[in-house]
Amino acid sequence: MSFSYSSFFSCISLLLLLSPLVMKVNGINNNNDVNLEHDDVRAPKSDSCNNPFQLVKVKNWIDEKESNNIYSGMSARFGSSLPQKPDITLRTPALFSNPIHCCSTPLSKFSGSTALCVRGGCDFTTKAQFAQSAGATAILIINDTEDLFEMVCSNTSQPNISIPVVMIPNSAGQAFNKSLASRRKVEILLYAPPRPLIDFSVAFLWLMSVGTIVCASLWSDLTSPEQYDERYKELCHKESSNAETAKYDSDKEIVNIDTRGAIVFVISGSVFLLLLYFFMSSWFIWVLIVLFCIAGIEGMHNCIVSLTLRKSQNWSQKVVNVPWSGEVSIYSLVVLLFCVAFAIFWAAKRQESYSWVGQDTLGICLMITVLQLAQLPNIKVATALLSCAFVYDIFWVFISPLIFNESVMIAVARGDKAGGEAIPMLLKFPRLFDPWGGYDMIGFGDILFPGLLVSFAHRFDKDKKKGVSNGYFLWLVIGYGFGLIITYLGLYLMNGNGQPALLYLVPCTLGLIIILGYIRGELKSLWNYGTEDSSSSIEEPCDV
């Protein structure tokens, strides 16, 4: 079964248009299906209402037995702060207020208990004041959805609250209500472990990103058929060898990107982004998942077959007739069935904690194959493509909130209108040392766009017979790795708010090759590479 790049291109085109959409979710993490994102900078403050928001863990015990469910919450702008460790805080009984909205004096005292109230009816500060006056040690406000709302003070309130005020999702409130309604004793302990400034998952994600670009650039060197022995190197290839080589080369259909295509590509991406923003739904996410699986299957199949057949071409000689496909290599068919089973298993288990392994495997194979399919002919086209992507990235992350009141890129990437399920075109790695869990992520676009330029540098170095130090490939790999480091540094300095990675990656790759080319006096050659007549000689056939 030969790999068809033309059929692959039609499937992957949509994914490429959407891949830049998910580059900005590095700072957005979910735990127990609760949106834990908060904006401590933009949320309103006042002199008496300026506490930083804390992410809160709500441990609970039912009839003296510790529950396996630890719920998530978020503290308010007012009230006392919570300790970072559970062993320095108290475990207190939980009671529902009467009236349940806590907007008037409770009919019974809380007497050292945690008050449970539902959202609505009055200001958050009013609820906290009534609960505190009734003797509550803390107040948990149950939201009417699974998201956590940023509780701030009203314009007229001057709160004097000395107890913790925490919002919890609706599911947690329903669980407490069920236990209390069955006359079971519920106890609660609140604490707020901080998120680490840097998690080591970033290092693994960095290695995956850089490694994918390096592997894709060197793939043809790694997977090309092994050379014939010395006797055949000295002679011309026989007709059968020429036929085999021609067949091998014909399978490698290359799509060269031109300047017009680069501009149209980015404009089309903007149109798709707006359509997703206004019309995204859960069924559309499923369409993207199916497309991702199809493209991932072809990419994974291509990677496995091309690697394994490098050592032994004999594996592909046994064939079988398949309807609508004709003769197909048995080995290739077995690999294809394995890839299909792998993709189906990932799609079925994509909500599990280990699903990131399957998604990353499919994604890396997909990107390696794409970087074999699409190539930049020269720096002129690279400048057009990466400059447009640079502007596209910045506009839809930083400027779109001025028009749409929120970042269109981040809203689509987060899946706000699709039940919170994100589109799958990204690599992710779990935050291993973060008590709140979640993932660090990088979109395919952050790898593919710079990867096209790095792959071009490798081809240019090979054609010009450049060494490691005086070539461009190694320096662009270093530049890309450095750009990723700056991207994550910007992410942390901006308190986890999504970053347009191409803002940093384009100057560190495109800018670097232009500067190096100018210094070395080779910028014209890089700019016009491939447009002039090739100086390479063509080997003449000889008699054998």
- Phi and psi angles of residue 327, each rounded to the nearest 5 degrees, phi first: -75, 130
* Parallel/antiparallel/unpaired status of strands 138-142 and 165-168: parallel
Which of left, alpha, beta for 438 (phi over 0: left; psi -120 to 50: alpha)?
Answer: left
Four-CA torsion 12, 18, 24, 30, nearest 10 degrees: -90
Q: Give the residues across from 117 on adjacent strands.
A: 141
- To the query of whether residue 446 is one of the catalytic residues in this protein, the response is yes
Q: CA-CA distance, 166 to 151, in Å (whole number)?
A: 9
Q: Which of 166, 226, 206 is nearest to 190 (CA)?
A: 166
3-state helix, strand, coil in the chain (%, to 5): 50, 10, 40
d(CA 360, CA 427): 5
Rounded CA separation 12/9 (Å):
5
Q: Within 13 A of 117's CA, how many CA atoms are on the CB side?
A: 35
Assess whether 393 carries a catalytic annotation. yes
Q: Which of 442, 479, 450, 477 has its CA nearest to residue 387?
A: 450
Distance of CA 516 to the CA centre of its chain: 31
**What is the greatest pairwise CA distance in the chain?**
106
Give DSSP secondary structure letters for 234-278: HSPPPHHHHHHHHHHHHT---EE--HHHHHHHHHHHHHHHHHHHH
User: Residue type at 486?
Assistant: I
Q: How many helices (H) and strands (E) does the chain have?
A: 17, 16
Provide φ and ψ at 440, rounded to 5°. Answer: -95, 140
Label each residue of 161-189 as H, E or C: CCCCEEEECHHHHHHHHHHHHCCCCEEEE
**Backbone angles phi and psi of 65, in degrees to 5:** -105, 125
Name 439's Cβ contacts closer than 8 Å, sequence gap at least 6.
29, 201, 356, 428, 429, 430, 431
Q: How many CB atoms lie within 10 A of CB 344?
A: 12
How far is C-alpha 429 from the chain's CA centre?
9
Phi and psi at 190, nearest 5°, equal -115, 135
CB atoms within 10 A of CB 234: 8
| Nearest of 358, 336, 338, 362 to residue 349 by alpha carbon | 358
Which value, in Å, is the radius of gyration of the alpha carbons in the chain? 29
Catalytic residue among 360, 440, 446, 461: 446
Catalytic residue among 393, 434, 440, 461: 393
Residues taking part in catalysis: 393, 446
